[in-house]
Amino acid sequence: MEIYIHLPFCKSKCQYCDFNSYAACDGATIYSYLAALCREIKFAGEQYGGARIDTVYIGGGTPSMLEAKHISSICRVLKENFDLSGVEEFSIEANPESVAEDKLLAYREAGIDRISIGVQSLDDRNLRSMGRLHDKDTALEKLALADKYFQNVSSDLIIGLPYDNSQLIKSEIDELSGYVTHMSVYQLTLEEGTPLKKRADEGRVWLPSDDEVADLMDVAIDTLSADGFERYEVSNFAKGGKISKHNMGYWTREEYLGLGAGAHSLVKTSDGRTPLPAEIRFSHPRDLNAYIGGVNCVDAFDKIPRAEMSVLSKTDILNEQIMLGLRTANGVEEELLFGRIPPELDEFFARFDGRIALNKRGMEVMNGILVRILEL
Ligand SMILES: C[S@@+](CC[C@H](N)C(=O)[O-])C[C@H]1O[C@@H](n2cnc3c(N)ncnc32)[C@H](O)[C@@H]1O
Ligand code: SF4
């Protein structure tokens, strides 16, 4: 089983972001949230404490913006309530401007062994226009610091920002590859309700077209490959086999517990509310006060209010196996797709060792392919 901990606090909201995160929260709110989170960890431990925990991921929001002692406390409470002796990977997300030496030391002390830094771009005009709080020099300085304390450093990059061009993407990746063993490279999504979407709709920001972004993604993939990174998932690249075990667990449908506001879980046993073992997905309320109030007014994990919950049917499970598995280079067992691939789509797939995966061109048009092959 995997554990995800959500820390939904940021210094300010980035232009493109629709993640469950809140800017400018006061100390009292953060304190109440952390208290509720620790209470939830305790309840979760009472219900799932016997499970073997393979990976832990502290994400956000901006976990690095919290004081080191807060992260240490969360890790201590986790250890008190779960058996973390078999954990193979323990990650934390950080933003460059709030990475500091004392925090890195505290993370390492607490058992964290992987850090994922949200660089997004190494062009100061891109960073400024997206409302990021760091510049290129800070990003490189903090990557060097992280590299000093962690063997497993990842960075996130967004492709399709206003000042992107192929030369920039190539030089960003070449520079980053000196510091990291893993890169997540996402194409910019214009999320409904974000300031960036509004600016784009009103013609107040120039963004590269879909075709231009596809070309930039090609440059990114080729540069990463030349720099020794293997593409093991649509948006994820690793050097020396340092894939993200935690994220791989999502794509191979391992069980995971998501703790914190808006966090999602997948459990494959009875969750205490359903009488029979079943595969259940559920999530907590996104709103901070709804989450805090919900945790504080109950005395067990399975009583915490849920925002969503679904017991998966056999068809749901099969569709998920295909949809998630085809994101990865390892694909799915060939028999899962038996009789589903129309001959005209065959050119988008590669077959090996009884498995089938999307090839490079297939990954480019993945969504269109999934619509054709999933069972509805
Ligand atoms: C949980 S988020 C944020 C992590 C961290 N707070 C940060 O900003 O660096 C994880 C990653 O999703 C990506 N992301 C967020 N919003 C996006 C969007 N609208 N389009 C593409 N990628 C996005 C960014 O690369 C980000 O680092
Ligand atoms: S720092 Fe990360 S989580 Fe926070 S608003 Fe920006 S992209 Fe979203």
- 227 with 331, same domain: the answer is no
| Interatomic CA distance for residues 82 and 46, integer angstroms | 9
Query: Ligand 2: which residue has its CA nearest to atom 8?
Result: 17
Confirm if 208 and 168 have CB atoms less than 8 A apart: no
Residue 63 has pLDDT above 70, yes or no: yes
Helix (H) / strand (E) containing 159: strand 152-159
Residues in the chain: 376
232 and 83 assigned to the same domain = yes
Please name the residue whose Cα sits nearest to atom 21 of ligand 1. Answer: 188
Using the mean position of ligand 1's atoms as its centre, give its distance from the Cα of residue 215 in Å.
Answer: 21
Ligand 2 first shell, C-beta below 6 A: 10, 13-14, 17, 19, 21, 60-62, 95, 118
Number of domains into which the chain is organized: 2
Q: Does the structure show a pLDDT above 80 at 270?
A: no
pTM: 0.96
Q: Which of 8, 82, 44 is nearest to 303 (CA)?
A: 44
Ligand nearest to the CA of 189: 1
Within-domain flag for 255: no
pLDDT of residue 125: 98
pLDDT, tens only, 243-259? 999 999 999 999 999 99
CB 157 within 8 A of CB 220: yes
Ligand number with the minimum distance to the CA of 9: 2
Do residues 222 and 335 both lie within one domain? no
Q: List alpha helices for the chain, DSSP H.
A: 27-48, 68-81, 101-109, 124-129, 136-149, 166-176, 195-201, 210-226, 245-251, 288-296, 314-325, 360-364, 366-373
Q: Which residues line ligand 1 (CB under 6 A)?
A: 16-17, 19, 59-62, 93, 95, 118, 120, 156, 158, 186, 188-189, 191
| Confidence check: pLDDT of 67 > 80 | yes
The confidence score (pLDDT) of residue 376 equals 64
| Residue 269 is assigned to a structural domain of this protein | no
- Asked if residue 275 is part of any domain, the answer here is no
pLDDT tens digits for range 88-126: 999 999 999 999 999 999 999 999 999 999 999 999 999
Is residue 18 pLDDT above 90, yes or no?
yes
Residue ranges making up the domain that contains 347: 315-373
Q: What is the mean pLDDT of residues 136-149?
A: 98
Q: How far is the CA of 38 from the centre of ligand 1 (A)?
A: 25
Closest ligand 2 atom to 12 CA: 5
Question: Does some domain include residue 303?
Answer: no
Question: Minimum-distance ligand to the CA of 158?
Answer: 1
Cα–Cα distance, 98 to 64 (Å, whole number): 6
User: Domain end: 191, 217, 248, which one?
Assistant: 248
Dist. CA 22 → ligand 2 center (Å): 9
Q: Mean of the per-residue pLDDT values for the chain?
A: 96
What backbone torsions phi and psi does residue 166 show, to the nearest 5 degrees? -65, -35
Ligand closest in space to the Cα of 131: 2
Task: Check pLDDT > 80 for residue 277.
Answer: no
292 φ, ψ (degrees, to nearest 5): -60, -50
Closest Cα to atom 3 of ligand 2: 61
The residues with which 137 forms a beta bridge, in sequence order, are none
Q: What's the CA-to-centroid distance between 17 and ligand 1, angstroms?
A: 7
Q: Clarify whether residues 34 and 183 are in a common domain.
A: yes
The pLDDT value given to residue 273: 73
Quick check: is 291 in a domain?
Answer: no
Least confident of 2-6, 49-53, 164-168: 49-53
**Mutational pocket test of ligand 1: of 6, 121, 158, the residue with most ligand atoms within 8 Å of the beta carbon:** 158
The dihedrals phi and psi of 215, each to the nearest 5 degrees, come to: -65, -40
Please report the atom of ligand 1 found closest to the CA of residue 191: 19
Kindly report the CATH number assigned to the domain that includes residue 38.
Answer: 3.20.20.70
Report how far ligand 1's centroid is from the alpha carbon of 302 (Å): 30
Q: Which of the listed residues 248, 266, 294 is the one where a domain comes to its end?
A: 248
Over residues 6-14, the mean pLDDT reads 97
- Pocket probe mutation, ligand 1, options 5, 12, 17, max atoms within 8 Å of Cβ: 17
**Which ligand gives the minimal distance to the CA of 161?**
1
Angle at CA 35, nearest 5°, toward 2 and 305?
65
The pLDDT tens digits of the residues spanning 27-52 come to 999 999 999 999 999 999 999 988 99
Collapsing DSSP to helix, strand or coil, 182 comes out as strand
d(CA 303, CA 273): 8
- How far apart are alpha carbons 65 and 61 in whole angstroms? 9
In a domain, 199, yes or no: yes
Q: Exposed (0-12), middle (13-18) or buried (19+): which is 255, by Cβ within 10 Å?
A: middle
Residue for token pair 């807060």: 70
Tokens of 229: 């990174």
Whether 262 is covered by a domain: the verdict is no
Residue 242, token pair as written in the block:
């340092």
* Listed residues 204, 227, 248: the one ending a domain: 248
Quick one: which atom of ligand 2 is closest to the CA of 10? Answer: 4
Asked whether residue 258 is assigned to any structural domain, the reply reads no
CA of 189 to the centre of ligand 1 (A): 10
